[in-house]
Amino acid sequence: MKSDPQAVKDVVYPCQDTHVIVPASVDRIRTKNLYLRPLEIGDAAALYEFRSRQDVADWLWPKVPHQNIQETEANILNKTFKTPDASGALGRQFTFAVISATDPTQKVIGAVGINGLVPSPSIGYGIHPDFWGKGYVSEAVAAVVDAWWKLSREEPEPRMELNVEREKLFAAVNKANVGSVKVLQKNGFEIVSEASLGGDTVVLFALERPAR
């Protein structure tokens, strides 16, 4: 079986209608330890510093480190949604550069964001190994998820059924990636299903949009 990002989408993500309206200009976010700003193409060199490492690629699909900065640039461009949001807008994105709030150089050390809208929105993240285990990605995911739920929605037509499903945000993780599994569980994501993909067990997590 293929183990590229599209194969992961095909295998694990369920379909969900798009109700979110993504603004053309996304606000910056300040958390306790971090500064999150919209990811830019100019951040490729900083992201390449860890996307070119095998110990990072081991947890992604495909498990091949980026070979050059152009590949990281393409990966950043790929964060632009390829399907319209609920307002019909195309070309929007919701991915943030992660910066330590105490770093005077404001160096980008990671990225967290929504990978796509179809078949359903999923969250993805990664941070340079020098910063693993400091709670940064848990903190960044909490902030990005909160901002995602706060975006406007085009509400679905009222339906007669009582059991209308609440909107969800998904994440697909290698079951052996203990740190990533913990990041999701600490943020309230729950396991939906498991699937085999090229020798890995992929766990699908979901988080429901809080009731308004």
Ligand X SMILES: CC(C)(COP(=O)(O)OP(=O)(O)OC[C@H]1O[C@@H](n2cnc3c(N)ncnc32)[C@H](O)[C@@H]1OP(=O)(O)O)[C@@H](O)C(=O)NCCC(=O)NCCS
Chain contacts with ligand X (rule: CB under 6 A): 56, 59-60, 125-127, 132-138, 173, 177-180, 182-183, 186
User: Taking a C-beta distance cutoff of 8 angstroms, is the pair 52, 66 a contact?
Assistant: yes
CB of residue 198 to ligand X, shortest distance in Å: 15
CA distance 132 to 130: 6
| Angle CA 86–87–88, to nearest 5 | 90
Q: Which is nearer to ligand X, 93 or 180 (CB)?
A: 180
User: Taking a C-beta distance cutoff of 8 angstroms, is the pair 150, 22 a contact?
Assistant: no
CB of residue 211 to ligand X, shortest distance in Å: 26
Q: Name the token pair of 78.
A: 């790929």
Q: Which of 144, 146, 151 is nearest to 23 (CA)?
A: 151
CB of residue 91 to ligand X, shortest distance in Å: 25
CB of residue 20 to ligand X, shortest distance in Å: 21
Q: Which is nearer to ligand X, 44 or 183 (CB)?
A: 183
Q: Which is nearer to ligand X, 59 or 149 (CB)?
A: 59
Q: Which is nearer to ligand X, 186 or 209 (CB)?
A: 186
User: Taking a C-beta distance cutoff of 8 angstroms, is the pair 30, 84 a contact?
Assistant: no
Q: Which residue is nearest to ligand X (CB)?
A: 179
